[in-house]
Amino acid sequence: MPEGPELHLAGRYINEACGEVVFSGGVERSAVSKNPEVAFSSEAYRISATARGKELRLTLAPLGAGEPQHLVFRFGMSGSFRLCPVAQLPRHAHLRFLTRESPPRALCFVDARRFGSWRLGDAWQPGRGPCVLSEYQAFRENVLKNLEDRAFDKPICEALLNQKFFNGIGNYLRAEILYRSKIPPFEKARTVLEALKDQEQARRKKNPSLTLSKKLKLMRENPDLLELCHTVPMEVVSADKKLLDPEDSDNYAAFKNWLQCYLVPGMSSLRDRNGRTIWFQGEAGPMAPKGQASRKKRSQLKADPEAPTPEVRSFGAVDVAPAGSRGCPVPPALLPNSRWGSQPGVSRQPAVPSTLLRLNSGSDVHLGHLACLQTAP
């Protein structure tokens, strides 16, 4: 499922790919979509994007007279954007904005599983907290001043998925954040965060005149849980400054190399009370579900016996199943346009022989993640 970094990279892709492009006409919606029609039409307009947490806002701005139209998207499990020729529209392109070129292209909202959505207007979804990526200080304050909220009665791994406080964090990010902070996933959230709050107050008393640069240095050297909620997603967003190429699928292997915990062989896993699998190392914590044995991920992956066998295209050491295939629920539509070579100190996991695989735990292996490299500790 796309998380905060994917939404921010989608916004970057739209702004870079469409920044100088002029669009024209109305907005086309697929017949099967249950999302609202977009009653907007203009002879010439531009499109820009802004991401916040797990939402992305498009602005359609006429070049002449007329009011702009705003739409706010949630990507669900498989949403993405793609700019492509109208003659080569991808399957499941449920919303289309046509360019004024000849032949025309279309900016498409592609969503194979149709869990994504859009709504008219510029307002972010009520109840979502500040973005962990773009509003770090407000995010941090929002968490620490609301520790009496019932959300923090839950295990920290479940609290991290609460978008009221952790807007942008999803399943793979929570695993990476907890692994790096060495916090058991089923420790009580309030216990973890109250200790963090006490440490912060003690640090302020000890060093009341710390400059911003020194604060940033301390944050890099000894990041706490909330700081990791910002810096870990930022590693993904900052991995590649170049234009994103929606057709480049090579980065799946690089994403696997960057992961230190999520889906990594040798790590344990449990399902939380919401049915989501959390990956971790070491003890699960005092609030771990009863009657559920921790399972370690094997290095060998087991093929899904029910999956049809699609045509597979080879990209180096990784075979890539076509977008929309079973086992590849997220089209590789938002991947950085770069080739990830070997880097000193980078932890490498064995190459996956095919993305059309299912883990023993039942999780699909897919191409829906964005990649960056992280130097091994």
> Which of 5, 54, 176, 187 does the annotation list as catalytic?
54
The answer to whether residue 44 scores a pLDDT higher than 80 is yes
Q: Are 336 and 243 in contact (CB under 8 A)?
A: no
Q: Are 91 and 72 in contact (CB under 8 A)?
A: no
274 confidence band (pLDDT: 50, 70, 90): very high
176 or 360, which is more confident: 176
Count the Cβ atoms, other than its own, within 10 Å of residue 292: 11
d(CA 54, CA 3): 6
Average pLDDT, the chain: 79
Rg (C-alpha) for the chain, rounded Å, is 22
The answer to whether residue 339 scores a pLDDT higher than 60 is no
The pLDDT score that the predictor gives to residue 238 is 83
The pLDDT score that the predictor gives to residue 45 is 97
The pLDDT score that the predictor gives to residue 219 is 54
199 or 116, which is more confident: 116
Among candidates 69, 70, 94, 72, which has minimal Cα distance to 82? 94
Rounded to a whole number of angstroms, the distance between the first and last alpha carbons of the chain is: 27
Is 2 labeled as catalytic in the residue annotation? Answer: yes
Residues 18-28 have pLDDT tens digits of 999 999 999 99
Percent share of the chain, pLDDT over 70:
69
The pLDDT score that the predictor gives to residue 375 is 31
From 153-157, 197-201, 254-258, 281-285, the region with the lowest mean pLDDT: 197-201
The pLDDT score that the predictor gives to residue 357 is 29
Is 3 labeled as catalytic in the residue annotation? Answer: yes
The pLDDT score that the predictor gives to residue 28 is 97
Strands (E), 112-234: 117-120
Beta bridge partners of residue 46, listed in sequence order: 61
> Taking residues 298-317, what's their average pLDDT?
42
Residue type, 55: E
Among candidates 148, 178, 136, which has minimal Cα distance to 161? 178
80 or 216, which is more confident: 80
222: its two tokens: 């000894």
Among candidates 203, 195, 205, which has minimal Cα distance to 226? 195
Q: Are 217 and 309 in contact (CB under 8 A)?
A: no
Percent share of the chain, pLDDT over 90:
62
The pLDDT score that the predictor gives to residue 40 is 96
> Taking residues 36-42, what's their average pLDDT?
96
> Which of 3, 158, 187, 227 does the annotation list as catalytic?
3
- Burial 307-340, CB ≥16 within 10 A → b, else e: beeeeeeeeeebbbbbbbbbbbbbbbbbbbebeb
The pLDDT score that the predictor gives to residue 53 is 97
- Burial 102-112, CB ≥16 within 10 A → b, else e: eeebbbbbbbb
Q: Are 197 and 170 in contact (CB under 8 A)?
A: no
Is 67 labeled as catalytic in the residue annotation? Answer: no
Residues 186-196 have pLDDT tens digits of 999 999 999 88
HSE at residue 227, side-chain half, CA atoms within 13 A, is 15
d(CA 157, CA 151): 11
The pLDDT score that the predictor gives to residue 158 is 98
